[in-house]
Amino acid sequence: MGTTVTAPVPSRYAGLSRAELAVVVPELLLIGQLIDRSGMAWCISAFGREEMAQIAIEEWAASSPIYTRRMQEALGYAPERPGTGDVVTIFKGLQLDIGAPPQFMDFRYTVHDRWNGEFHLDHCGALMDVEPMGEEFVVSMCHDIEDPTFDATAVASNPRAQVRPIHRPPRVPAGRKPHCAWTVIIDESHPPVEGIAALAVVQRSRAATLELAPIDTEDDGLSDYTGPLLSDVDFGAFSGSALARIADEVCLQMHLLDRAFTVAVSARTDEAGTRRIRRKQLTGVAGIAAERLARALDLPATPDGATRLLALHPLLNPAAYVNAGITADATAVEVRRGPADEDGAWVSLVDPDDVGPLQAVVRALDPHFDVEVSPLTDGTDGWRCTVVRRDEPAREDDAVAVTRFSTGAGFAFEPRRSLPLTPV
């Protein structure tokens, strides 16, 4: 008997044009950064500043090594042997990391040679968000969190990489630019960085090993990032197929980050407390993400536009992870059980009795919009979401309002020239 080969699930983003995708990918990277602007506010409230910082460390250290390797492999710049990457490998990874979205976290890179480099941030959106909160919060982010998580991210490329500060906030003198500067040195004499215990937990998730649709190398445009390191990634130079894969990988980064966040939070509270914090996190970022995507794609403020927005939202992507789709008559989104449910991912926080995150998405287009969610009638495990319009506008959800505090909510990308960087 022959073996049945199942083709990878096509990306929902493949339905966008190449030009649309070139706009959407940096938006998704920035949306990923805003997850913490949402979630950490509720962690501070529940556990205090010091525990919030520890949660952030565990969250990023348990997810970034996984998704960094995934992006290396997807775009062809993974080292020949795992763990032998150079500074260019590390810098390319940062350019495609939700922890360092382009321009909002404006990394500028210098490569001295394969094993020595530097970067500085001309603009740090995270610092702009935290600085008004006081020096203690700046130290928590720029010292307590950054030291272990920069090394944890680098370990995906080379465990003997060390990322060390030249200078960093609190800014002295006030308003100092660049906001911070760091060296990256790979040396065989450095003790290898080892992953934290939670990394092994997240590695067992479906998201960690999920197979996504391969990039069509015959499609017009770049299909990989094997060329020189660029000062700014020109997303418009990639093919539509490559951009759809990048978009799916970036959504998966968000789910891996949330999986690690769940592990960290659940170690500090009970199941009900973990779910409450996770739903606040999801609702907050869902609303702001929807605003940014709707604006980027110029979606109409109609029920059809809101339905399309739901289908393209990171909550329900990538398609290989979240089993969802627009109905044949384009009037609703149907969600069935899939790999994301096995991981307890964002979609598992939504059901017919708990629709706050879905409401946050559709109300980003029009506060009069609402959703009607009901169980599927075909006997499968899932639900159907239909967008409806109410007579009275809804007030903004508190979780969305908290996330709007971030300067990332209204951040505008600017055109940049993409220049190759060579060793100096």
Are 199 and 65 in contact, with CB atoms under 8 Å apart?
yes
The gap between the terminal CA atoms of the chain, to the nearest Å, is 59
The answer, yes or no, to whether residue 151 has pLDDT greater than 90, is no
Spatial separation of the C-alpha atoms in residues 104 and 408, rounded to whole Å: 7
Q: Residue 156 — pLDDT band, cuts 50, 70, 90?
A: confident
Spatial separation of the C-alpha atoms in residues 28 and 25, rounded to whole Å: 5
- pLDDT score of 1: 47
- pLDDT score of 370: 97
- For 174-224, write each residue's pLDDT tens digit: 889 999 999 999 999 999 998 999 999 999 999 999 999 999 999 999 999
Amino acid in position 264 = A
| Weakest mean pLDDT among 4-13, 40-49, 83-92 | 4-13
The answer, yes or no, to whether residue 98 has pLDDT greater than 50, is yes
Are 220 and 81 in contact, with CB atoms under 8 Å apart?
no
How much is the mean pLDDT over the chain? 95
Burial group, residue 73, by CB count within 10 angstroms (0-12, 13-18, 19+) = exposed
The answer, yes or no, to whether residue 324 has pLDDT greater than 50, is yes
With CA atoms as reference, report the closest residue to 83 among 187, 156, 152, 189. 156
- For 211-265, write each residue's pLDDT tens digit: 999 999 999 999 999 999 999 999 999 999 999 999 999 999 999 999 999 999 9
- pLDDT score of 342: 97
- Residue 200: count other Cβ atoms within 10 Å of its Cβ: 10
Q: Residue 8 — pLDDT band, cuts 50, 70, 90?
A: confident
The answer, yes or no, to whether residue 376 has pLDDT greater than 70, is yes
- 297-to-92, 228, 263 alpha-carbon distances in Å: 26, 30, 34
- For 18-52, write each residue's pLDDT tens digit: 999 999 999 999 999 999 999 999 999 999 999 99
Spatial separation of the C-alpha atoms in residues 340 and 320, rounded to whole Å: 9
* More confident site: 3 or 312: 312
Are 153 and 65 in contact, with CB atoms under 8 Å apart?
yes
Q: Residue 3 — pLDDT band, cuts 50, 70, 90?
A: low
- 244-to-11, 67, 292, 297, 302 alpha-carbon distances in Å: 6, 16, 18, 15, 25
The answer, yes or no, to whether residue 281 has pLDDT greater than 90, is yes
Spatial separation of the C-alpha atoms in residues 54 and 103, rounded to whole Å: 27
- pLDDT score of 5: 57
Q: Residue 418 — pLDDT band, cuts 50, 70, 90?
A: very high
Burial group, residue 293, by CB count within 10 angstroms (0-12, 13-18, 19+) = buried
- pLDDT score of 284: 98
- 144-to-149, 155, 204 alpha-carbon distances in Å: 9, 18, 27
Rounded to an integer, the average pLDDT of 149-175 is 90
How far from the centroid of its chain's Cα atoms is residue 231's Cα?
Answer: 21
Q: Residue 2 — pLDDT band, cuts 50, 70, 90?
A: low
The residues near 220 (Cβ < 8 Å, ≥ 6 apart) are 18, 239, 240
- Residue 136: count other Cβ atoms within 10 Å of its Cβ: 13
- pLDDT score of 95: 98
Spatial separation of the C-alpha atoms in residues 39 and 366, rounded to whole Å: 24
